[in-house]
Amino acid sequence: MLESKRASRIFTPMKSSVDKGVIIWLFSGCLMVAIMVIVGGLTRLTHSGLSMVQWSLFMETIPPLTIGDWMETFQLYQQTPEFKLKNYDFTLNEFKSIFWWEYIHRMIGRFIGVVFLIPFLYFIIQKRLSKVLVQKLLIACILGAIQAGMGWYMVKSGLINDPNVSHYRLAVHLTIAFVLYAYLLWVLLGEVYPQISSNTTTSLFGIQILILFTVLQIIYGAFVSGLKAGLVYNTFPKMGTEWIAESVLYAFQTEGIISFFENLASVQLIHRYLGFIVLGLVVYIFVVSRYKKHNKGQHKSLYFMVAIVFIQVLLGIFTLLYAVPIELGAIHQFGALMLFTSQILYYFYSSKHIEQRENLNEEVSPSTL
């Protein structure tokens, strides 16, 4: 009985007021995961992911500093399949250019772990986290660990025989990152609005279908990146001279359903049309929602979603037409993250009685006391 009372004191529920320190911490977590996604995209686009051949939690924090350190690191890279099969003519300076991207990518991952775990323990000791919030954040820790493990597995697989890392692994790695980001954002919003209840009168089917297709589009975006499918049929709206390239039909006849996941032209075709499905769903939700009453959060997130989906479609088109330049590719991935953000925001504001929280604040405001 005494132990249960002590445990309840450790996980004391938050007061009705918002804990700004916890909010800032959760927001910084979302921001760092978002930065990690963008830097990960740049690491992929610059083909830098296999440049660091060792994986040590603490030893890699200090990069090569002297010419001797650089030569030793470069010699390790020269033993990899990627160097022997692809980059056999690399100079030391060329190696440095790809090394730094992977180094920054890994250091951000470590920084996220430190910035998340240390305040997490501090807030628990200070009794500023409820038991429910602690449980939610433990799930975030598990997702982060899975994400880190998947990153290690991807790198490890590319250092054995074949430097071409499976696009399936890339898709899993990217999808987990998006899921972790969305989960942290949802937890953050729940702490910003701790008093609100679920809205059982609003249909969420439309936004749920939109999020589902967006996740599918993100997966196929990873397929396009992993297979380098963006380097074929760099024309729009047709694929060359046809709406559906003949190679897509031929691949389906010879390979079957698997061609939808492994054939370059087929993967690009699906990615193209999934983009238009997402665009159509956003426009549909916008048109239908004009006849419904919205809270401020719904209104702002909806217009943000409409704006970003058109920008994202244009970015995708230009990225294709210019054969995936690094800058456009990175911006396109950032656009996907922003589109996903707008959908999570709209989903949250649509599923909650936000007005209830606003009325509560008015009731306890100093002017009413």
Domain-by-domain residue ranges, the chain? 17-195, 199-355
50-54, 179-183, 331-335: range with lowest mean pLDDT: 50-54
331 pLDDT above the threshold of 90? yes
Q: What is the pLDDT of residue 198?
A: 61
Whether the bond into 325 is cis, omega within 30 of 0 = no
First to last CA, the chain: 39
Whole-angstrom Cα distance, residue 174 to residue 332? 14
Half-sphere exposure of 147 (CA within 13 A, CB side): 24
Q: Which of 141, 170, 143, 183 is nearest to 30 (CA)?
A: 183
Q: What is the pLDDT of residue 353?
A: 62
User: Per residue in 126-174, pLDDT tens?
Assistant: 999 989 999 999 999 999 999 988 988 888 888 888 888 899 999 999 9
Q: 330: helix, coil or strand? A: helix
Q: How far is CA 221 from CA 149, 156, 216, 217, 272, in A?
A: 21, 23, 9, 6, 10
Q: What is the pLDDT of residue 354?
A: 58
CA angle 236, 241, 243 (to 5 degrees): 65
Question: 296: pLDDT confidence band, cut at 50, 70 and 90?
Answer: confident
Q: Which of 151, 204, 134, 137 is nearest to 36 (CA)?
A: 151
Total number of residues shown for the chain: 369
Express as a percent the part of the chain with pLDDT over 70: 87
Q: What is the pLDDT of residue 158?
A: 82
| CB distance 92 to 70 below 8 Å | yes
What's this model's pTM, rounded to 2 decimal places? 0.87
User: Per residue in 339-353, pLDDT tens?
Assistant: 999 999 999 998 876
Q: How far is CA 211 from CA 15, 169, 228, 347, in A?
A: 33, 21, 25, 9
Question: 11: pLDDT confidence band, cut at 50, 70 and 90?
Answer: very low
Beta bridge partners of 239: 242
User: Burial level of 343, CB count in 10 A (0-12/13-18/19+)?
Assistant: buried
User: Per residue in 178-195, pLDDT tens?
Assistant: 999 999 999 999 998 876
Whole-angstrom Cα distance, residue 189 to residue 209? 21
